[in-house]
Structure 1
Amino acid sequence: MWFLDVNILLLLIAAGFAIMILRVINHNSRFKLPINHIMAISTLVILYSIDKKLLFFYVAYILITYAFNIILLKAKRFKKVLFFTFSVVAILPFLFGRFDNIFLILGIAYTIFKAIDSFYHTYYGEQKIDFLTYVNFILFLPVFTSGPIHRYREFASTMKAPIKPSVENISYAARRIIRGFFKKVVLVALVTIPFVHLQELTPTWSISLLLIVMSYLLIYLDLSGYSDIAIGIGALWGIKVPENFKKPWNAPTMSQFWRSWHVSLSDNIREHIYVVVVKKKITKLQGGLIGFLTMIIMAMWHGFNLPYLIAGTYLGLILFIENIFSITTLNRRTANAVHFRLRCLTTNFLFALNSLVFTLPHDRVLPVLKGLVSF
């Protein structure tokens, strides 16, 4: 994992403090240093120190996708065809890595989402993408391998008005980084030990239930821990990184759950599908189909295999049903407290069932599910 490599972590933190110092100098001087240029150059140097081939790939990817944005902006004819074609081409490195596995391009999955978001920005917003901002957008190292995912418009805004350097900001960044490592290193280890032991036992309803709860915890602690570290290091760089987890255990429906769990990814996919499908108020059927497609795409994004497809279909059907029957939301203020908590528990349990696909060997998932009815 990116942040668990001490050398890379120190490089990112050192770069963050260097950029923070430069921002202080700019604040107190008439002569303004080109910090955005320095950020881009330092990022390229860090990538070069990690892997030369990785650097050359991303330089080529940035130049090609930026050229696509220029063509999209200037195109008068066949704009829709170009938009679709460029999006497919941007995805090809990810597909190649999934199907062939000759090499794995670090960070490509999240980079693709950002590249396609830039196409949406150019195609629908008809606004030019600034090249320097685009380089920093694609290569922003704190979120490079596992998000959270910026949208181009959001990233451009925070580049223009970065977080002001202060003692409070350093303190905030340190707290988020420490919290992230505590989740990823300490808590994940504490949950993993009994989780591995329980897998060796014959599944009964109690063992299966414990495995499901621990599976949920492992995924949450790992992903939210990474997000905490990314947000903390991003703050040092002066860039606001979006929150990825917003107390998902307080979500009473699956639709609300996905507005609290891995938010930047689910929102990115859902909203981009929404833009293509419809621009006005959507019907229940359209909303259900958008939710269903979002879950299928997210499943395939994790991997091209049958268990992931089944998991995506399962979650997609829940979202589809919620939309069709208009049960996508439940207001905590107006709902009975006991009813609200039961709905939250049910929603999180339904998601936890899906989490087994990502934490257990695939041949162990079905026995654990069957164990729930073994008394």
Structure 2
Amino acid sequence: MFYLNMNAIMAMLGMVVILMLTRRYPNNKRVLTLLFSVCFLLLFSKKLLVFYLIFTLLNYLGFVYLCRTKLWRTATFLFAILANVAAVFIGIRFFVMGIFQNPLFDTIIYLGLIYNVLKVIDAYYFAYFFEKKGQVPLLDYSNYILFIPTFTSGPILKFRDFMADSKKPYTVNAALFEDSIKRIVLGLFKKIVLVTWMTGVFNDVLQNDLHTHQSIFLMIWFYALIYFDFSGYSDIAIGFGRLMGYTMPENFKRPFLSPTLTQYWRNWHATLGDFFRDHIFMFFSRKTPSRLTAAGLSLLIMVLIGLWHGFSWLYLLWGVYHGLLLALENLFQLSTVNKKKSSKTYFYFRCFCTQALVTLAVIIYSPDHEAVLRIYRGLLNLPSF
């Protein structure tokens, strides 16, 4: 969310210049990137910085303890995860109580915290399975949590990959620099130009009486809107992250050419799907699961993803809807389609069916739940109440 502020953009570009000028010094990106993150948060909100310094330090202490302890490891591991989930609700409650007054703080505390809690959980998994071998310095751990390019909107960084990058010297060649700048410009164009225009069109149509064709249009239009919005943020984050010397995972991998929902969720917000899939399957099914187990875990994962987006009945229903579809794909062995072994007609027909199923529920991402219900009533030609 920082990317709509030109001062933030200029600050990150300035940080990239400093890293390039100091690239001959060992550990320049480890030290300077953390200093930049701390100063950035300090200028944005002193209370936000204090919150995250405490949050990071407490979790680092828990992380080190889990790496070293042999006593009650599983209980400690589960307690640490539950405590962080509770921190999300406490942090949001602080905003509701008016403790934080920054006009953008609602977005930063909500989105930033729910993304950073996932990173913290990934670090705890690493500590749980690797024990003493997984321990890292506080400098690198803090860098991982506070890394500004991915602070509020992802992509979700894997602890192991980020620590591996931290050990490498800062290197950005001409090709990487050019590609990263192009990604940043593309992301800004999506977010500032396309999303702004598309939001205006969406709101104009929404003000009218809705019938089936208007509701279908709004669903498809909103689907495209959130794609440009979120992929735009991802483009900017990936560009700046790479310019700061870290490998950034792709978050969108041609999701519209996914012939099944299973493949779709590996291509749309890929790092979120990977997180839940890796951590749920890793913990509950370390061996290859049966079809019935895979179906049940798919339902659980999608319900959790739904509640991660928002703790409401609509998001719960969204999770159940996608979870049941994924469960059916697993039960009937329809979770993959090999493009090379299928006819083009069949492959693109499956892609169309997948997109149709996604479009039916995508409007739930809208923060205006009253508008969501209006669109569904219009789709079914139901009267307003």
Question: TM-score interval w.r.t. the shorter chain?
Answer: over 0.9
* CA distance in 2: counterparts of 1:72 and 1:151, whole angstroms: 18
- Select the residue among 232, 244, 247 that pairs with 1:237: 244
What letter corresponds to residue 114 of structure 2 in structure 1?
A
Gapped runs of 5+ residues in structure 1?
27-31
Aligned partners of 1:184 and 1:221 also within 8 Å: yes
SS at match of 2:339: coil
* CA distance in 2: counterparts of 1:140 and 1:34, whole angstroms: 15
* CA distance in 2: counterparts of 1:314 and 1:366, whole angstroms: 16
Q: CA deviation at 1:237?
A: 0.6
Q: CA deviation at 1:373?
A: 5.0
- Select the residue among 120, 125, 134 that pairs with 1:120: 125
1:313 equivalent in alignment to 2:320? yes
1:38 equivalent in alignment to 2:43? no
- Could you tell me which residue of structure 1 aligns to residue 75 of structure 2? 81
Gapped runs of 5+ residues in structure 2?
101-105
Worse-superposed segment, 79-88 or 331-340: 331-340
Aligned partners of 2:258 and 2:351 also within 8 Å: yes
- Select the residue among 97, 105, 108 that pairs with 2:113: 108
- Could you tell me which residue of structure 1 aligns to residue 151 of structure 2? 144
Q: CA deviation at 1:121?
A: 0.2
* CA distance in 1: counterparts of 2:377 and 2:166, whole angstroms: 51
- Select the residue among 25, 43, 48 that pairs with 1:49: 43
User: Structure 1 residues 162, 202: CA separation in 2 closer, same or farther (over 3 Å shift)?
Assistant: farther
* CA distance in 1: counterparts of 2:366 and 2:49, whole angstroms: 32
- Select the residue among 275, 284, 304 that pairs with 2:282: 275
Q: Deviations over 1:252-274 (max 9, x none)?
A: 11100000000111110111011
Aligned partners of 1:163 and 1:235 also within 8 Å: no
Aligned partners of 2:19 and 2:170 also within 8 Å: no
Q: Deviations over 1:212-267 (max 9, x none)?
A: 11010111011000000001111211111110000100001110000000011111
Q: Deviations over 1:174-194 (max 9, x none)?
A: 100000011111111232222
- Could you tell me which residue of structure 2 aligns to residue 94 of structure 1? 88
- Could you tell me which residue of structure 1 aligns to residue 59 of structure 2? 65
Aligned partners of 2:220 and 2:359 also within 8 Å: yes
- Could you tell me which residue of structure 2 aligns to residue 338 of structure 1? 345
User: Structure 1 residues 296, 167: CA separation in 2 closer, same or farther (over 3 Å shift)?
Assistant: same
Q: CA deviation at 1:336?
A: 1.8
- Could you tell me which residue of structure 1 aligns to residue 103 of structure 2? none
- Could you tell me which residue of structure 1 aligns to residue 361 of structure 2? 354
- Could you tell me which residue of structure 1 aligns to residue 6 of structure 2? 6
Q: CA deviation at 1:374?
A: 5.1
What letter corresponds to residue 218 of structure 2 in structure 1?
L
Q: Deviations over 1:137-194 (max 9, x none)?
A: 0011000001001111011112223562222222111100000011111111232222
What letter corresponds to residue 113 of structure 1 in structure 2?
L
1:190 equivalent in alignment to 2:197? yes
* CA distance in 2: counterparts of 1:334 and 1:372, whole angstroms: 37
Aligned partners of 1:163 and 1:240 also within 8 Å: no
User: Structure 1 residues 341, 371: CA separation in 2 closer, same or farther (over 3 Å shift)?
Assistant: farther
Aligned partners of 2:295 and 2:331 also within 8 Å: yes
User: Structure 1 residues 33, 83: CA separation in 2 closer, same or farther (over 3 Å shift)?
Assistant: closer
SS at match of 2:341: coil
What letter corresponds to residue 176 of structure 2 in structure 1?
N
What letter corresponds to residue 187 of structure 2 in structure 1?
G
1:301 equivalent in alignment to 2:308? yes
Q: CA deviation at 1:98?
A: 4.4
Aligned partners of 1:162 and 1:239 also within 8 Å: no
1:167 equivalent in alignment to 2:160? no
Worse-superposed segment, 173-182 or 352-361: 352-361
* CA distance in 1: counterparts of 2:312 and 2:336, whole angstroms: 32
Total equivalences in the alignment: 369
What percent identity do the matched residue pairs reach? 34
SS at match of 1:333: helix
* CA distance in 1: counterparts of 2:74 and 2:9, whole angstroms: 42
Q: CA deviation at 1:202?
A: 2.6
User: Structure 1 residues 128, 5: CA separation in 2 closer, same or farther (over 3 Å shift)?
Assistant: same
User: Structure 1 residues 370, 340: CA separation in 2 closer, same or farther (over 3 Å shift)?
Assistant: farther
Q: CA deviation at 1:205?
A: 2.8
Q: Deviations over 1:265-321 (max 9, x none)?
A: 111011101111011111112211221111111111121111111111111111111
- Could you tell me which residue of structure 2 aligns to residue 222 of structure 1? 229
What letter corresponds to residue 256 of structure 2 in structure 1?
W
Q: CA deviation at 1:42?
A: 2.0
SS at match of 1:9: helix
What letter corresponds to residue 124 of structure 1 in structure 2?
F
TM-score (structure 2 length as normaliser): 0.91
Q: CA deviation at 1:34?
A: 4.1
Q: CA deviation at 1:372?
A: 3.8
Aligned partners of 2:238 and 2:250 also within 8 Å: yes
* CA distance in 2: counterparts of 1:131 and 1:314, whole angstroms: 41
Aligned partners of 1:176 and 1:229 also within 8 Å: yes
Aligned partners of 2:366 and 2:372 also within 8 Å: no
Worse-superposed segment, 144-153 or 58-67: 58-67
